[in-house]
């Protein structure tokens, strides 16, 4: 079970020796946590100094992560709020669209059991301040497993890697074309 405390930064091991990072902003009594997960990748285990440049608006995924599956040191704590960034990060209000009816619904997490949600048919009054500056596409209303988080972050790494590869090929083609002239 996870042993994160609010404000802890942790590393998320991915395939091929890569790491991503996350931050726990709220933790319930069973260990479930609201996490901000980032799609910046490291070739070595990052440390607290690497976390200084991150802000809530940089998150790729924001949601509740079930602690089951995060065993021992698999997602090691690399910095705490005391040693890195003591600013509180918002616990967001989640928004979902019912595909069948097209109706929007809002939900907030129950503080004592983050896997339980409080749903409302209208936007809560504090949603604007709690979600200010957060990427709406990053908000995931359904609880995630650690495997879900790791798979999505690795998928994002592959997209990033493919973009770099395409840029490299385009630069090489321009270089060859300029030499041919």
DSSP letters along 107-135, please?
Answer: EEEETTEEEEEEEESS--TTHHHHSTT--
Quick: pLDDT tens for 106-140: 888 887 888 888 888 888 888 877 877 787 778 88
Domain-located, residue 105 = no
pLDDT greater than 70 at residue 29: yes
Domain-located, residue 83 = yes
**pLDDT for position 73:** 52
Domain-located, residue 106 = no
**pLDDT for position 72:** 46
Domain-located, residue 4 = no
Domain-located, residue 175 = yes
Quote the CA–CA distance of 8 and 33 in Å, as a whole number: 11
Domain-located, residue 14 = yes
| Domain extent for 39 | 9-91+125-180
Q: In the predicted model, what is the mean pLDDT of the chain?
A: 82
- Going by pLDDT thresholds of 50, 70 and 90, the confidence category of residue 45 is very high
Angle, CA of 121, 146 and 148, to the nearest 5° = 65
**pLDDT for position 88:** 73
**pLDDT for position 85:** 66
Q: Could you give the number of structural domains in the chain?
A: 1
Average pLDDT estimate for 168-178: 71
DSSP letters along 16-39, please?
Answer: GG-EEEEEEEEE-TTS-EEEEEEE
Domain-located, residue 147 = yes
27 vs 123: which has the higher pLDDT = 27
- Going by pLDDT thresholds of 50, 70 and 90, the confidence category of residue 16 is confident
């Amino acid at each position: 079970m996870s042993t994160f405390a609010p404000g802890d930064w942790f590393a998320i091991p991915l395939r091929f020796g890569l790491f991503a990072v996350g931050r726990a902003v709220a933790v319930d009594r069973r260990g479930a946590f609201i996490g901000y997960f980032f799609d910046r990748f490291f070739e070595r285990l990052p440390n607290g100094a690497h976390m200084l440049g991150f802000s809530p608006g940089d998150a790729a995924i924001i949601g509740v992560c079930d602690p089951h599956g995060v065993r021992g040191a698999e997602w090691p704590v690399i910095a705490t709020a005391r040693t890195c960034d003591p600013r509180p990060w918002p616990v967001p209000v989640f928004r979902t669209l019912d595909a069948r009816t097209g109706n929007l619904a809002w939900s907030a997490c129950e503080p004592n059991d983050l896997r339980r949600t409080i749903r409302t048919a209208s936007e809560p009054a504090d949603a604007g301040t709690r979600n200010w500056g957060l990427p709406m596409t990053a908000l995931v209303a359904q609880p995630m497993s650690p495997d879900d988080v790791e798979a999505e972050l690795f998928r994002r790494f592959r997209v990033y890697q493919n973009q770099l590869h395409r840029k490299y090929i385009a630069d090489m083609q321009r270089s060859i074309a300029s030499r041919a002239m």
